[in-house]
Amino acid sequence: MRVLTRALTIGIAVALTALLHAQGFDLVIAGGRVMDPESGFDEIRNIGIRGRTIGAISTAPLTGRTTIDAAGLVVSPGFIDLHAHGQTAETYRYQARDGVTTALELEVGTADIDRWYADRKSGQLINYGVSIGHIPVRMAVMGDRGPFLPTGPGAHKVASAAEIKEIARRIEDGIRHGAVSMGAGFPYTPAASPEELLEVFRVAGRHGTPVHVHIRRGVAGLKEALALAGQTKAPLHVVHINSAGTTATAEMLAMIAEARKQGLDVTTEAYPYAAGMTEIQSANLDEYEKASVDRVAQLEWPRTGERLTPESFQKYRKAGGPVVLHTNTEEMVNVAIVNPQTMIASDSYWENGTGHPRTTGTYSKVLGRYVRERKALSLMDAIRKMTLMPARRLETRVSAMRTKGRLRVGGDADITIFDAARVIDRSTYREPGLPPDGIRHVIVNGVAVVANGQLVNGVTPGLAVRAQ
């Protein structure tokens, strides 16, 4: 009897599957090289998508209402960016063309989780999410009116015991309201005392929420963050190890490996550019006030391409705007990008019509220059750094990440399809808005947002990524 029931069940299942196939899929991606970093799968297959979900990965032909011919192209999980500033319709467009399907602002974050998500609720091109940020919370509590990063008491005023308590309370409130993680940037808040930082790390530790930190520069900066994480059991994510490390990058990656061996939950990320960018008025640049002429000449004003002098530095500091920091070498960036611990994250930055080329070229640059041209990374390793690793960093707290970053039946249909023989970044410091070449199709929740290398207009399939 039991055997009969089982046979019957299987029979029904087979019939059901056949029926579903006969009905076809909403979207079929036909004949692409399907690469899944979780299983190591790397074969030519057809993918059938129904609604927002991958319904089949198959050698058999699949029929769909729409079919993308992916012959000769790589089919990868959509890229997940853990470090994306801007978070506007404009930056979502730039990032979509670079293959990004989920852009998360986890370093600076926001002071008001509910409002941040409500502001984007009408629909976005790609998936989006945010952290509760120590920087903006501190700005709110200390009364700093800087537009994005603190320039007044948020940066320079020591908080009283009551203010520290209020900062910690608001961070905890943000975590309770579904912040993806907690953000911090010690060089942007130089007046935050060790007691204040310990207090906010304690909050993160209690909730098992990762802290995404822009650490102070060099080995001492990493030691400080590792000590805070160790004391409070807060998971730690060190943002852009390339620019935080510069000449000490290799040593700092070894420190992270050692900390992991000791059982600390610590991860890191990098972007593939030797120059950084930030707001010229931020406290992070206070040290250039009294720096040598050579040191100030590391700064470039992107609107004109000029290198700064002590005089022009003062002039532009009064005006405000993004500034390029030429502080690293290609060699050290390479060390950061190829290290197996490092995720790829863009630190995309765009302000009033200009920004950093990493906003538009991070992922295509890694695929074109590091994988194809220099063979510094295998294609699968690069994809893993862009998809599975960031998903895993967040999935303990954010269940939505458990179905992203991999290509499997039942997974989210966030998919990036590119030409591995052609993909390349084209944006430069002078022309940061140039889109890359070779990113052919980008699917977000089953809907194409880039088709044949062009943006699709009028679609907003992007959903909020938020902890429950």
Residues that bind Zn ion (CB under 5 A): 107, 347
Nearer to Zn ion, 31 or 272 (CB): 272
Nearer to Zn ion, 57 or 80 (CB): 80
Q: What distances in angstroms separate CA 310 from CA 151, 226, 297, 314, one per listed residue?
A: 19, 35, 8, 6
CB of 328 to Zn ion, least distance (A): 15
The residue type at 147: P
Nearer to Zn ion, 36 or 107 (CB): 107
Q: Of 37, 55, 57, whose CA–CA distance to 47 is shortest?
A: 57
Nearer to Zn ion, 279 or 347 (CB): 347
SS3 156: helix
Nearer to Zn ion, 67 or 243 (CB): 243
Record the tokens describing residue 452, joined without a space: 């044949």
Distance from C-alpha of 415 to C-alpha of 406, rounded to nearest angstrom: 9
- Report the number of secondary-structure helices (H) and strands (E) in the chain: 16, 23
> Longest Cα pair distance anywhere in the chain, in angstroms?
90
CB of 211 to Zn ion, least distance (A): 14
SS3 of 7-71: the string is HHHHHHHHHHHHHHHHHCEEEEEEEEEEEECCCCEEEEEEEEEECCEEEEEECCCCCEEEEEECC
**Does residue 407 contact residue 57 with C-beta atoms inside 8 Å?**
yes
Nearer to Zn ion, 107 or 196 (CB): 107
CB of 149 to Zn ion, least distance (A): 10
Nearer to Zn ion, 348 or 387 (CB): 348
Helix (H) or strand (E) holding 307: strand 306-307
Residue 72 CB contacts under 8 Å (≥ 6 apart), including other chains: 419
Nearer to Zn ion, 345 or 415 (CB): 345
Nearer to Zn ion, 345 or 448 (CB): 345
CB of 245 to Zn ion, least distance (A): 15
Nearer to Zn ion, 149 or 442 (CB): 149
Question: Helix crossing, 161-176 with 194-207: angle to 10°?
Answer: 20
CB of 375 to Zn ion, least distance (A): 29
Record the tokens describing residue 249, joined without a space: 């990058």
CB of 355 to Zn ion, least distance (A): 12
DSSP state of 179: -
CB of 133 to Zn ion, least distance (A): 11
Q: What is 204-246 written as a DSSP string?
A: HHHHT--EEEEPPSHHHHHHHHHHHHHHHT--EEE--HHHHHG
- Paired with 343 in beta bridges are 269
Distance from C-alpha of 113 to C-alpha of 133, rounded to nearest angstrom: 9
CB of 430 to Zn ion, least distance (A): 21
CB of 82 to Zn ion, least distance (A): 10
**Does residue 323 contact residue 299 with C-beta atoms inside 8 Å?**
yes
CB of 253 to Zn ion, least distance (A): 19
